[in-house]
């Protein structure tokens, strides 16, 4: 009996001995994976460093995008405060809204909330170009307008169809005050049909109208 017990113990030792290195190796491998979480992580735990880095990168990208959109944007036009009659007139037609600096400023403030302020900026730049007569100045301003609002690489690119883009590319060979006329009309129409109705129902317009109405009653 004693012999059989010794044989049994020896068998148990032989069966457990090979497993010892195997148990150490997976622990070592797991340790390596933990130290390189950014490369091998597959979990969604909040402590994972790769998720932290990814979130930071996404936040930095969003912040950079907003900063790029804000670069080079001029201040609002100087204008006196609008009267109640003027603000009421804005509701009559888009042309009346765009006719005065106060109307353009209010509409531009609304476009900024919809991240489409570049439409107004492009329209204003085209209007400014039309006032120029010096050939060198015209060429320089046309180049800047193209880079800022037409180029697909610009964060302020406006939405134009391919036909209008082809016209602009031809016109840029010899820039003039009217290089962007077709594009300006298309953007004006876009603002009229798409953004103007929402502006009329926006808090920006309604708050301004209510404020002026209350002042008129008090006076």
> pLDDT for 103-131, tens place per residue?
999 999 999 999 999 999 999 999 999 99
Residue 65's H or E segment, with its range, is helix 49-70
Structural domain tally of the chain? 1
Pairwise CA distance, residues 111 & 90, whole Å: 15
pLDDT digits (tens, 9 = 90+) for 153-195: 999 999 999 999 999 999 999 999 999 999 999 999 999 999 9
Residue located via tokens 């964060």: 155
Assigned domain for 52 exists: no
Model's pTM, two decimal places? 0.66
Within-domain flag for 115: yes
Q: Are 69 and 156 in contact (CB under 8 A)?
A: yes
Task: Identify whether 188 is part of a domain.
Answer: yes
> CATH no. for residue 113?
1.10.167.10
Please give the biggest Cα pair distance in the chain. 117
Q: Under 8 Å CB-to-CB from 205, ≥6 apart: which residues? A: 87, 90, 106, 110, 199
CA dist 119 and 117 (Å) reads 5
Taking the C-alpha atoms of residue 38 and residue 71, their distance in angstroms, rounded to an integer, is 34
CA-to-CA distance for 126 and 209, rounded, in angstroms? 30
Domain range for 110 is 84-218
Task: Retrieve residue 88's tokens.
Answer: 């009421």
Q: Is 35 within a domain? A: no
Select the more confidently predicted residue: 3 or 108.
108
Q: What is the pLDDT of residues 48-70, one digit of tens each?
A: 443 443 444 444 444 433 343 43
User: Given this model, what pLDDT does residue 204 score?
Assistant: 97
Q: Indicate the Cα dihedral angle 173, 177, 183, 188, nearest 10°.
A: 170
For residue 72, being part of any structural domain is answered with no
Contacts of residues 45-52 at CB distance under 8 Å and 24 or more positions apart, as own/partner, are: none
């Amino acid at each position: 009996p004693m012999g059989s017990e010794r044989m049994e113990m020896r068998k148990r030792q032989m069966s457990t001995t090979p497993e010892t290195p195997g148990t150490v190796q997976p622990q070592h491998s797991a340790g390596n994976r933990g130290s390189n979480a950014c490369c091998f992580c597959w979990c969604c735990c909040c402590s994972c460093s790769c998720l932290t880095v990814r979130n930071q990168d996404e936040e930095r990208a969003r912040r950079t995008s907003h900063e790029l959109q804000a670069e080079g944007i001029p201040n609002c036009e100087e204008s006196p405060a609008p009267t109640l009659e003027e603000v009421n007139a804005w509701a009559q037609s888009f042309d009346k809204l765009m006719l005065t600096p106060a109307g353009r400023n209010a509409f531009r403030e609304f476009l900024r909330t919809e991240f489409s302020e570049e439409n107004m900026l492009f329209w204003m730049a085209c209007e400014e170009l039309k006032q120029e007569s010096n050939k060198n100045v015209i060429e320089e301003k046309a180049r800047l307008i193209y880079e800022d609002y037409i180029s697909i690489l610009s964060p302020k690119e406006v939405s134009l169809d391919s036909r209008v883009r082809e016209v602009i590319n031809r016109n840029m060979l010899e820039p003039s005050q009217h290089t962007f006329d077709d594009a300006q009309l298309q953007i004006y129409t876009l603002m009229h049909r798409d953004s103007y109705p929402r502006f009329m129902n926006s808090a920006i317009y309604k708050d301004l109208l209510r404020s002026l109405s209350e002042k008129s009653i008090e006076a």
